[in-house]
Structure 1
Amino acid sequence: MMEDPRAKKLYFEWEPQDDPEFAPLILGKGTIGGKGRSLLFALRKLRDSGDEELAKTKLPSSIYLSVEIFHRFLENVPGLRALLSCKEPRRVEEAFLAAPLPADARKFIEEFLAEMNDPVAIRSSSRLEDDVKHSFAGKYLTTFLCNDKGGAAERAAAVEREVKRVYSRTFFPAAEEYRERHRLGEDDMGIIIIRMAGRWRGRYYYPTIAGVGYSQNFRRWTTRIRQEDGLMRMVFGMGTMSTKRGYARTVSLSNPILRPEGFSPEKIAAIAQESFHVIDRDNPDALTTLDIKKEWRQLIKYHPDFSAYAQIYGYADGEGAFSQVMKNMSALQPGTKICFTFDEFPQKYPGFYKRMKKTLKLLEAEMGLPADMEFAYEPTEDSLCLIQSRPFWSNAQNEGGIPAVAEKQILLQADRMVTHGSIAGISKIIYVDYGRYYANRDFYGTARLIGDINGASDEPYILVAPGRIGSSNPELGVPVQYSELTHCRVMVELGIPRLGFMPELSYGTHFFSDLEVDGVLYMPVFAGEDRNIFNSEWFEGVECETCKNDAVRVYRGSFAVYMDGETNRGVIVDKNLPQSGARR
């Protein structure tokens, strides 16, 4: 989609304080920050769309503190200038927690909570988060409170504490380094206090499904789907699971039946969601991760349509296969497991995907830019909650193409999820040997070593590693932090299915947002699959620099990266190898 300058201008000029419905939800003058303003803008446009289905989209009860409240709070922090100059995050947080919020803010929060005992989220909404390009994903703070014990004053005090913690994160290294790296200057913090989407189901509170959606699919896994149709990443339970590099169901809105991993039961089961996030009454004020293997009986009780979400995977006649979860089951059979495949969801709720596509297209048209949104959904009631909406930044380049290269020069080749882009000259590859990584089990040591190599010089490099780089689960891929990859310019995720290493298109994750903003080229390579190349002979036979961890090697040479989003092909070549037989 081409940007619409007029719509973009109207989007950035819109102020919720001028809307008579939204003004009472806001305390203070000045902006309420990017997340808050964008969320209310989206709700207003959906309600005014003239489309009955879009107009019934909900926003959970919420209030907003403007940046004026932030600055008035800072006046209550003793010795602020000296405190911030010490660059000690713990001292900053302790001082902020000891300082009082302005009295009108405390009263505003208590009035909001007076008759609302459901869990709440306290979210950052800074002024700079209004920027199209810089989402600040994961750089500030969102916290959760159970909010079901004590009177309004006691519960308000707990929320105030979390507001001050969010304020302190404005001055933490993650945010300051991000602003410095992108030359953004200082920031001002607004706050959203919002009832969490979902409901109590026994001792657990969660929505049935949640996730993220995008009006444009810049990284298609097949040419059978269209960029302009968009995509979703959805999970069972709270949407926080979809912002991590874990398991989620990726859906093209061109055809919700298609899967990036294909239709093989083995591959589907290998990357299907097996745990989900909830608020637990017995463990309040933090997210709890539940295992479906332990919870499936009670889930059937609360979700009569449970077969739309989960299936049982096992072997039949020597092959992997799925079967339905039956209400009268007393236990899982040996050798089977249960997981969230969403396999029957498109047939049971086909209108959901049409509604999401329509919603995203409207937001894109009204903002004048590609849109992304976070949502929660109760399928049996067709109840859609908007959790976040903002412009969707992509660093996809307009120019693409792959020059004539000899097949012998190709070290890696991908056939999906690539955008236009190229780097004609790069002299370094950091490679994580998947076999040794898997055998050694020194997952975090491997990650820290990559960070050490990255920090030793500012030389750009290509990173090639198995599975999902940056995963919080080291069984899925190297758990390296994005801050340890500051000089990485190309990232290749190597798929080795037999060891459980599967790349994944992780739109919506904080990690992937950083890749996009910094223009890091990305491609997944599935070893052994048609139209994919992993030149293992080169990686095993070429001279390299060994490291103290033998799973990590560094190669020097003359390498080039070429990606073509139209043909969905990407290659990395060794320019020093012979070019005989070069072809496009």
Structure 2
Amino acid sequence: MKRPDDTHGDFSAGHDWRLGRFPNLMPRRVESILLVSSPYDSFILEEDGLLSELIFSEYTDLGLTHAPSVHRVSTGHEALGAVASGEFDLVIAMARLGGMEIHEFASSVKAIQDDVPVVLLAANEAELTQFGAQIETLTVDGIYVWHGDAKLFLAIIKTIEDRWNAQHDTHVGGVGVIILIEDSVRYLSSYLPLVYSELVRQTRAVMLEGINRMHKLLRLRARPKVLVATTFEEGLALYEKFRTYIFGIITDVRYPRGGEVDPQAGAAFIRKIKEDNPDIPSLLQSAEVSNREIAERLNTAFLHKWSTTLLQDLRLFMLNNFGFGDFIFRLPSGQEVARASNLYEMRRVLRDVPAESLDYHASRNHFSNWLRARTEFVLARKLRPRKVSEFGGMEGLRAYLIQEVDGAIRQNRRGVVEDFTRERFGPGSRLTRIGGGSLGGKARGLAFFDAMLERYQLHKEYEDVSIFVPRSVMIGTDVFDEFLDNNQLRTLALYKAQDEWIRQAFLKAVLPRSLTDSLSAYLAHATSPLAVRSSSTLEDSPYHPFAGVFSTIMLPNNHTDSRQRLSQLCDAIKLVYASTFYEQARQYLRATPHRIEEQKMGVMLMEVVGTRHDHYYYPSFAGVARSYNFYPFGHMKPEDGVATVALGLGQCVVEGSEALRFSPGNPHVLPQLSLGKAFISNSQRCFYAINLDDPDRPVPTEELASVERLDLTVAEKHGTLDPVASVWSHENEAFYDGIYRPGARVVTFAHILKSDLFPLAGILSEVLDLGRIGFAGPVELEFAVNLSANPRQFAVLQIRPFGVTGEQEAVEIDGLPDDLLLVSSEMALGNGIVDGLHDIVYVKPDTFDAATTPAIAAELGKLNETLLAEKRRVLLIGPGRWGSSNPWLGIPVNWAQISAARVIVETSLEHFKVDSSQGSHFFHNLTSLGVGYLTVDPELQRGFIDWHWLDQQPCVFETDLLRHVRVDIPLEARMDGRQSRAAVLKWSVRAEGLNDDI
């Protein structure tokens, strides 16, 4: 197998064929960014991952694996030295430059390298006003103000790139141009991210059917350019330069004209443009509603700048005017006679549309505009300079259009992820999609990784093992939008907080007929059990992964009546949609920069990997693996990775129940087995399987209602226990591989990890390494293995980037006196210092009983509501695994019940010992949200808690299970991410300032 190297270039180069007939657009891109900011400003912009996340996501969405690098310096003088190296394409400078004024800095940069753009980013509006009239004379290439929306960085980069590439891309590819005229820095900083986000969304929505996902994303390079002007003269110069390629005009009303602010400059601009091109789409925007009348007189659209529906209004304008919507065939009178939403429908409609309608649209270049919006530049160029008379009449043009559209469809059929059609879908189909819009993060990650598996043929290294992504159908987010809008659910779901009300309302709603028709055709070929999985647009991002936040419904899919199977599948999809608005999702969203109304839900229909045993269906084993191990020990390195595996379905692992942990780089090192008999109580004692015995059972409103928890004796009866189990001999006090002797059966995976029965460790190392390179960072993988298949199967069920801070500042922990320490941990996640912790909530260790953990979770939920309302910052301490679905292993809370916590401690007690968390969805989400997570194991001398000190603190609230105390002098938590160590100090030793981003 030819492996990619860490430069990532090989993968991109190897897939150049997917560009097909497209020109090499966007030849100049921002590849290296110099960020000039004070340490504090940089911490805000970079350490929380938002900047790197957005850059990563943008380049991943474009099918690239090499994102621009970001280098930070603290002062202007340092920056000038860096610019002199010639390594940077863009300089983003905050206002505080360490003693150097911004105008001096910008001029100096241009003197060193005049083609490097310099952008000023003010931390807030007050900072911007300090420049006063001087701001008009700054030699910078853009001025923006930070409003907390991290998408601003994306807009800055895209604005620069569009300015660079507009001339080339219009000339070579016929790419369209949108002129945006706006002189308000404050408004542009908020509005430009909306324009780019919507432009990319609508460009993605109109990508053609039949091409693979990666190809579609590469074609987003061909989206229209947005060129920004701040004066009348700048806008007019852009129009004259790109007249042939103008998609439309978006202009403010008041801005400079002739050197002075003209309150009607925008109206004058549109009036002048329409004299040259009366049909050009235009939008007049203003903070003054009275200007709507002027827009009406100009026959142009109007948008109120401070409208509460700004994004929706902008979306509708672009959809209806820039060619992104349906092509509506009209007669000269304006009467609609037909419409086409894609090339397939265009090919069909062209056969029957009246000749006078064809003449009407061809004479106004409507066909070429609509095709260009769909990046069909070759066909658009053929049509634009041609006259109808050149085709020998309208029927000649009709035949020509049909021929060319048909040719484009054929060329665009290549790909891995195909759009679903009843005619094409069959046993040979692998990854297909239904509906437009985004596939969502989960589906996108799998589609990307499937392309990598195809490119590098990993399975050839394991000839008797099939390494693959299970056959899946992916439902795009446009179907979600259509479902909400058709059933008038959007507003109700946004404002109704009761989960049960939402659940019932969604179940009563009706899915789009187009979807149910496709599902009916799909079920004719899909007869094995199905996992109906969420794939939100926000899911699986590196720093806010939403792991386990939304629903997955398991369906037996074995009813004899196909109509019942369809009904059950539809209900499962509705329940996944409903989970978008459940309280758990709302609570998680509040801890991120996102709003619930931004959430778009895709759905994956994935065939479950496994084999039928009696009336149960399950894989041989399943698990989660990470390319980075937070808790290495002995000779292990964090980069060796870690995996957690369990017999049967993977619920044991992702929900924090009993499973076996090992390092793929050191598979023979299993310290758990050295515990002997003590290991049995923490080993897997049951497993999960889909129950096939009741096909009439209604679709479960609880995710696991179709999944049954079974004793290991059932697996032994099925013959699936032997490959993964050992026997504990009480007589010899030793483990023996296999189950062919008397004794306690214990899941150890010894046969798998110590012999050649199945190359699990080797495959995991290879797949994790491939994922790490493809995603440009650490990854987490969910997988399933089927030993009963021929060849044996290793299925990648999910892969996502996992946020691990690369460069972490030193945090001093050594040398602190013991009497200052409330908590000490040798296994900790997070980096930095959390201060201002006045509140401590802890589970009372002396009275703790594992049987009471559900009651503890309920009490914590009520207390959390109070703490949130009071905006308290909390240290939370308790035994076992937080968030475990198994109440005997820890406190079964969800995020909504502990969201006030800034630092969480899990500890073992003398009578309650559980391995630390690392494989569960709950653990993943906590760490990605920046919550400090400390593990304490006094028995192994890995930390301690000063319970005596806690018991002496003033009590605010106490029950038989919990105690809430509050201290006058705040605690201070210190996390050293480089060494995975942490300490909580009984009082803050820092002189001033707070920094809770870890």
Fold-level similarity (TM above 0.5): yes
Letter in 1 for 2:900: H
Asked whether the equivalents of residues 564 and 570 of structure 1 are also in contact (C-alpha less than 8 Å), the reply is: yes
Structure with the larger helix share = 2
Report the Cα offset of residue 359 of structure 1.
0.8
User: Alignment partner of 1:32: what SS?
Assistant: coil
Number of the residue aligned with 1:580: none
Structure 2: distance between partners of 1:80 and 1:575: 47
Report the Cα offset of residue 405 of structure 1.
0.6
The residue correspondences of 1:302-381 to structure 2 (distance < 5 A) are 302-303=719-720, 306-313=721-728, 315-316=730-731, 321-327=734-740, 337-349=744-756, 351-379=759-787, 381=791
- Are 1:277 and 2:684 an aligned pair? no
Number of the residue aligned with 2:584: 174
Number of the residue aligned with 1:104: 514
User: Alignment partner of 1:505: what SS?
Assistant: coil
Match of 1:141 among 547, 551, 556: 551
Number of the residue aligned with 2:402: none
Match of 1:22 among 417, 440, 443: 417
Match of 1:212 among 624, 634, 645: 624
Asked whether the equivalents of residues 830 and 930 of structure 2 are also in contact (C-alpha less than 8 Å), the reply is: no
Which structure has more RCO (C-alpha within 8 Å, separation ≥ 6)? 1
- Are 1:481 and 2:891 an aligned pair? no
Number of the residue aligned with 2:322: none
Asked whether the equivalents of residues 527 and 557 of structure 2 are also in contact (C-alpha less than 8 Å), the reply is: yes
Report the Cα offset of residue 542 of structure 1.
5.6
User: Alignment partner of 1:471: what SS?
Assistant: coil
Identity %: 24
Structure 2: distance between partners of 1:178 and 1:154: 35
Report the Cα offset of residue 242 of structure 1.
1.2
Number of the residue aligned with 2:865: 455
Change (3 A) 1:47 1:417: farther
User: Alignment partner of 1:434: what SS?
Assistant: coil
Report the Cα offset of residue 26 of structure 1.
1.4
Match of 1:264 among 671, 675, 687: 675
Change (3 A) 1:105 1:382: same
Match of 1:11 among 43, 60, 84: 60
User: Alignment partner of 2:709: what SS?
Assistant: strand
Report the Cα offset of residue 267 of structure 1.
4.1
Bigger CA drift: 516-525 or 561-570?
561-570
Number of the residue aligned with 1:392: 802
Question: Any idea what the Cα deviations from partners look like across 1:216-236, whole Å, max 9, x if unmatched?
Answer: 22x124252212222212111
Structure 2: distance between partners of 1:437 and 1:377: 38
Letter in 2 for 1:343: A
Letter in 2 for 1:353: A
Letter in 2 for 1:469: W
Structure 2: distance between partners of 1:387 and 1:411: 41
Asked whether the equivalents of residues 464 and 493 of structure 1 are also in contact (C-alpha less than 8 Å), the reply is: yes
Change (3 A) 1:2 1:462: farther
Structure 2: distance between partners of 1:233 and 1:126: 25
Report the Cα offset of residue 147 of structure 1.
0.8
Bigger CA drift: 201-210 or 389-398?
389-398
Letter in 2 for 1:483: A
Question: Any idea what the Cα deviations from partners look like across 1:101-142, whole Å, max 9, x if unmatched?
Answer: 222211211222113321001111122225332222232211
Letter in 1 for 2:711: I
Structure 2: distance between partners of 1:104 and 1:221: 51
Report the Cα offset of residue 298 of structure 1.
0.7
Structure 2: distance between partners of 1:271 and 1:397: 36
Asked whether the equivalents of residues 632 and 638 of structure 2 are also in contact (C-alpha less than 8 Å), the reply is: no
Asked whether the equivalents of residues 587 and 899 of structure 2 are also in contact (C-alpha less than 8 Å), the reply is: no
Bigger CA drift: 544-553 or 268-277?
544-553
User: Alignment partner of 1:339: what SS?
Assistant: strand
Number of the residue aligned with 1:428: 839
Change (3 A) 1:181 1:539: closer
Give unpaired runs (5+ residues) of structure 1: 578-584
User: Alignment partner of 2:940: what SS?
Assistant: coil
Structure 1: distance between partners of 2:504 and 2:215: 33
Number of the residue aligned with 1:33: 440
Change (3 A) 1:382 1:422: farther
User: Alignment partner of 1:175: what SS?
Assistant: helix
Number of the residue aligned with 1:239: 650
Give unpaired runs (5+ residues) of structure 2: 9-30, 32-54, 64-212, 217-413, 420-431, 700-704, 990-998
Report the Cα offset of residue 307 of structure 1.
4.0
Asked whether the equivalents of residues 204 and 280 of structure 1 are also in contact (C-alpha less than 8 Å), the reply is: yes
Change (3 A) 1:550 1:94: closer
Report the Cα offset of residue 466 of structure 1.
1.1
Structure 1: distance between partners of 2:498 and 2:939: 49
Structure 2: distance between partners of 1:29 and 1:456: 42
Report the Cα offset of residue 494 of structure 1.
1.1
User: Alignment partner of 2:971: what SS?
Assistant: strand
User: Alignment partner of 2:916: what SS?
Assistant: coil
Asked whether the equivalents of residues 453 and 468 of structure 2 are also in contact (C-alpha less than 8 Å), the reply is: no
Structure 2: distance between partners of 1:225 and 1:359: 19
Number of the residue aligned with 2:593: 183
Report the Cα offset of residue 269 of structure 1.
1.8
User: Alignment partner of 2:577: what SS?
Assistant: helix
Match of 2:854 among 437, 444, 464: 444
Asked whether the equivalents of residues 691 and 708 of structure 2 are also in contact (C-alpha less than 8 Å), the reply is: no
The residue correspondences of 1:551-566 to structure 2 (distance < 5 A) are 551-554=962-965, 556=967, 557-566=969-978
User: Alignment partner of 2:727: what SS?
Assistant: strand
Report the Cα offset of residue 544 of structure 1.
4.7
Structure 1: distance between partners of 2:581 and 2:942: 47
Report the Cα offset of residue 379 of structure 1.
4.3
Number of the residue aligned with 2:938: 527
Asked whether the equivalents of residues 8 and 368 of structure 1 are also in contact (C-alpha less than 8 Å), the reply is: no
Letter in 2 for 1:390: R
Change (3 A) 1:396 1:434: farther
Report the Cα offset of residue 210 of structure 1.
0.7
Match of 2:916 among 501, 504, 511: 504
Letter in 2 for 1:206: Y
User: Alignment partner of 1:159: what SS?
Assistant: helix
Bigger CA drift: 384-393 or 10-19?
10-19
Which structure has the larger Rg? Answer: 2
Report the Cα offset of residue 505 of structure 1.
2.5
Bigger CA drift: 426-435 or 384-393?
426-435
- Are 1:298 and 2:717 an aligned pair? yes
Asked whether the equivalents of residues 489 and 520 of structure 1 are also in contact (C-alpha less than 8 Å), the reply is: yes
Structure 1: distance between partners of 2:529 and 2:655: 21
Structure 1: distance between partners of 2:834 and 2:570: 49
Structure 1: distance between partners of 2:587 and 2:954: 36
Question: Any idea what the Cα deviations from partners look like across 1:321-368, whole Å, max 9, x if unmatched?
Answer: 434553475xx6xxxx43312234211247321221111111121122
Bigger CA drift: 383-392 or 559-568?
559-568
The residue correspondences of 1:61-76 to structure 2 (distance < 5 A) are 61-76=471-486
Change (3 A) 1:47 1:76: same
Match of 1:547 among 921, 933, 958: 958
Bigger CA drift: 408-417 or 225-234?
408-417
